[in-house]
């Protein structure tokens, strides 16, 4: 064998040996890679937990705790499509409605401590929540807000103060008829349909005089945010007509997109249960299907009108 051949053989031998060593390493690598991926996912989930909850993640010692860490924070809260602030509105609605003292305390604290929601905005949320989930639940929620706001202030080195001063909304003139007229207009604007007649106390004083004559017109939350909160509330309430109506108008108004509604459904399902989430998902799917059908019908009508010789002659 020539020197060149010997060198080639040696090189081949070394290459073969290295290749064999590489295969042996590959046999060990999958387990190591799995461990590294798991550690990486856990690290990401714990980081997101700290960012969302404004505290350290507790150890995950049960399947529930591991899923809460890895799925709820490691996946759901990280998803695009909704801001963290938007996800907080859904979550706060769910935990307040669920009468879960620990989660209510934790999520109110986290929303205020992170700065995602200001105290005045939180108080507006309590009022809106009261309309759709009831005063008793909202009363408890407002008590939690007060305690957690004092805690946040102390942690910031500030002496706890009372609530921020309330301003009288510019539309409040003390004229009952003016408020009722404003409620009729706001109802139509929000729901994309004419207001009902003010022929019962529920409709006159409740729906037109207060819910739409006052609450939906108040500053402090955007209409889009009020829609997010309302959709979560009606998803909780087991009220088929309000559920279909509010999901439908949230989409038709353009305040929420179909993709955003899908993210709301997922966030809602995590915090109030997948059975309830399915009903909300069905309402969203029905609204999208109806909107598509209406768009198609309008397009057909427009095309027919444009191509009608009779109508052209009339023009």
**pLDDT at 312 > cutoff 50:** no
Residue 228's contacts (CB-CB under 8 Å, 6 or more residues apart) are: 86, 89, 90, 256, 264
| Domain carrying residue 69 | 36-56+63-78
In this structure, is residue 116 part of a structural domain?
A: no
Rg (CA), the chain: 28
Last residue of a domain, one of 45, 78, 111: 78
For residue 181, being part of any structural domain is answered with yes
* 184 occurs within a structural domain: yes
Residue 169: both structure tokens together: 């909304």
| pLDDT band, very low/low/confident/very high, at 2 (cuts 50, 70, 90) | very low
Contact 157, 121 (CB under 8 A): no
pLDDT digits (tens, 9 = 90+) for 151-167: 999 999 999 998 999 98
Calculate mean pLDDT across residues 26-47: 71
Mean pLDDT of the chain: 87
- The verdict on residue 136 lying in a domain is no
**What's residue 41's pLDDT?**
86
Q: What is the pLDDT of residues 265-287, one digit of tens each?
A: 999 999 999 999 999 999 999 99
Confirm whether 209 is domain-assigned: yes
pTM, to two decimals: 0.82
pLDDT at 121 over 90: yes
Task: Tell me whether residue 47 is in a domain.
Answer: yes
Domains in the chain, number: 2
> What pLDDT, in 10s, does the model give residues 237-268?
988 999 999 999 999 999 999 999 999 999 99
Residue 191 is assigned to a structural domain of this protein: yes
Give the whole-angstrom CA distance, residue 186 versus residue 171: 12
Tell whether 206 is covered by a domain: yes
């Amino acid at each position: 064998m020539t020197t060149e051949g010997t060198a080639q053989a040696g090189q081949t031998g070394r290459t073969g040996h290295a290749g064999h060593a590489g295969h042996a390493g590959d046999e060990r690598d999958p387990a190591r890679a799995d461990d590294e991926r798991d550690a990486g996912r856990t690290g990401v989930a714990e980081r997101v937990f700290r960012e969302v909850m404004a505290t350290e993640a507790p150890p995950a010692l049960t399947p529930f705790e591991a899923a809460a860490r890895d799925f709820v924070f490691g996946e759901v809260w990280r998803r695009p499509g909704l801001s963290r602030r938007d996800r907080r509105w859904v979550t706060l609605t769910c935990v307040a409605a669920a009468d879960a003292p620990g989660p209510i305390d934790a999520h109110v604290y986290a929303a205020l401590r992170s700065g995602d929601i200001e105290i005045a905005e939180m108080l507006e949320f309590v009022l809106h929540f009261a309309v759709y989930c009831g005063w008793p639940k909202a009363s408890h929620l407002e008590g939690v807000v007060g305690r957690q706001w004092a805690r946040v202030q102390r942690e910031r080195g500030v002496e706890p103060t009372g609530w921020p001063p309330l301003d009288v909304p510019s539309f409040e003139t003390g004229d009952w008829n003016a408020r009722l007229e404003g409620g009729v207009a706001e109802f139509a604007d929000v729901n994309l349909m004419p207001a009902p007649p003010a022929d019962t106390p529920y409709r006159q004083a409740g729906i037109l005089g207060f819910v739409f004559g006052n609450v939906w017109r108040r500053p402090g939350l955007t209409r889009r945010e009020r829609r997010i909160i309302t959709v979560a509330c009606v998803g909780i309430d087991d009220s088929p007509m309000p559920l279909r109506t509010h999901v439908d108008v949230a989409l038709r108004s353009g305040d929420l997109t179909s993709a955003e509604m899908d993210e709301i459904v997922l966030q809602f399902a995590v915090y109030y249960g997948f059975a309830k989430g399915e009903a909300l998902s069905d309402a969203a799917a029905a609204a999208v299907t109806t909107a598509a059908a209406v768009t198609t019908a309008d397009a057909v009508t427009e095309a027919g009108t444009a191509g009608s010789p009779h109508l052209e002659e009339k023009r």
